[in-house]
Amino acid sequence: MNKPLTLGVAGLGTVGSGLLRLIASHADKLAEAAGRPIVVTGVSARTKSKPRGPETAKARWFPDPVALATDPGIDVFVELIGGDDGVAKAAVEAALKAGKHVVTANKALLAKHGIELAKLAEKNGVALNFEAAVAGAIPVIKTLRESLAANEVRRVYGILNGTCNYILTRMEEEHLSFDAALKEAQEKGYAESDPTFDVGGFDAAHKLALLTSLAFGTKVAFEEIHVEGIQQITAADIKAAAELGYCIKLLGVATQTESGIEARVNPTFVSMDSAISEVDGVTNCVALDSDFAGTLLLVGAGAGSSATASSVASDILDIARGIVRPPFVRPVASLKPHKRAKIGAHQGAYYVRLSVMDKPGAMAGITKRMGDRNVSLESIVQRRPRIPPSAAGDTTPTANTAAPVILVTHETTEKAIREALAAIESDGNVAERPQLIRIEEL
């Protein structure tokens, strides 16, 4: 048997503890697959006193992750600390400079500093692997790096955040409000006490930034992604979607266009006939559209101890087998600048929900504003006026009542529909800000 591959693992939380269990329980299988044993010789975490289980008993304890990252006794530094700066960044940089291979699940770090870290890895001839940074157990990065290497990828899209998918699924299945579904997600441990990073779309955007670079050969550009969350999705939107033959998913979508890359994270109407509409709960999925292989849809667990640890172990196995590739498929010097397509140039159909004031000429004014910007309407659905609480008991419509109106447009530009809605709002014909959701053809 060859010399063992030695690991230093920094961060012993959900993923770190899962990795140690996996290595302990599958030691023989890993050794057979790698051609040599894989051994954890050093660990680091925020506190030493916390019970860690027998998996850490033979490993040396390092209070400082940077010291672990540069220790002569390790071949691979596994960073599972998290965070886009601070000790995680310092430790990864130190490991790469010391000629250590690095495996990380830290999408925030890579979305912000990926190119800089990739340069260090290439300079020192070591691996920087991050399969676990995107979509948990789903091998999407390996698919882009290896299986589709001979293809031109045209579009990448998918459900990249399990928290949002769980919330939207529960809103659909149980007719819950956003707040009620979020509370349930927090109680089950799917959402943090401060859920902004997830429900605001930022977690999905970090992942999409990495996928965009891998798919299109561009530098990582998180700041170029248009980001919308799901906080404004209501039960009324969920119900309207179902009546129109759709469900609502938070999608990350990156498309190569003639004018540049359109990369966005936003709530989307998805046809009930599409495969992606069946992906419910905390499950993730990623679709890759390519010229020769066609469309591949990868579905699986997007987070969790075991699922993410599986991807970390896969990256470690590659290193054990002597596989070292440029982190972003191409050498950093060959990566193109990220050229952003104007988000207003996006073309597609849209769902619009308006709360229209019950007064003469209101609908005529709305349709005129749409027509002024060449926005063609496929359908208009108007419901009974909503009576304000102050008018309880009085069912006579007045100028203060508002009727929910659902519009579905034909294909148009984002610029045109947003300008039309801004004009409608300024006219005073709606009681609240219009709701706008893209309809995606998948």
Pair of tokens at residue 204: 């999905």
How far apart CA 159 and CA 285 sit, in angstroms, is: 5
Pair of tokens at residue 401: 């009542």
Catalytic position from the list 207, 339, 368, 415: 207
Q: Quickly tell me which residue has 């007064």 as its tokens.
A: 359
HEC sequence for 120-189: HHHHHCCCEECHHHCCCCCCHHHHHHHHCCCCCEEEEEEECCHHHHHHHHHHHHHCCCHHHHHHHHHHCC
Query: In the annotation, is 207 catalytic?
Result: yes
Q: Quickly tell me which residue has 């912000």 as its tokens.
A: 112
Other Cβ atoms within 10 Å of 333 Cβ, number: 8
Pair of tokens at residue 407: 């519009």
Q: Measure CA of the first residue to CA of the last residue in the chain; give whole Å.
A: 49
Q: Quickly tell me which residue has 């010391």 as its tokens.
A: 98
Q: Of 180, 208, 323, whose CA–CA distance to 264 is shortest?
A: 208
Type of residue at 297 = L
How far apart CA 191 and CA 199 sit, in angstroms, is: 9
* Pair 430, 404: CB distance under 8 Å: no
Q: Which DSSP string do the residues of 42-83 spell out, in sequence order?
A: EEE-S-SSS---GGGTTSEE-S-HHHHHT-TT-SEEEE----
Catalytic residues: 207
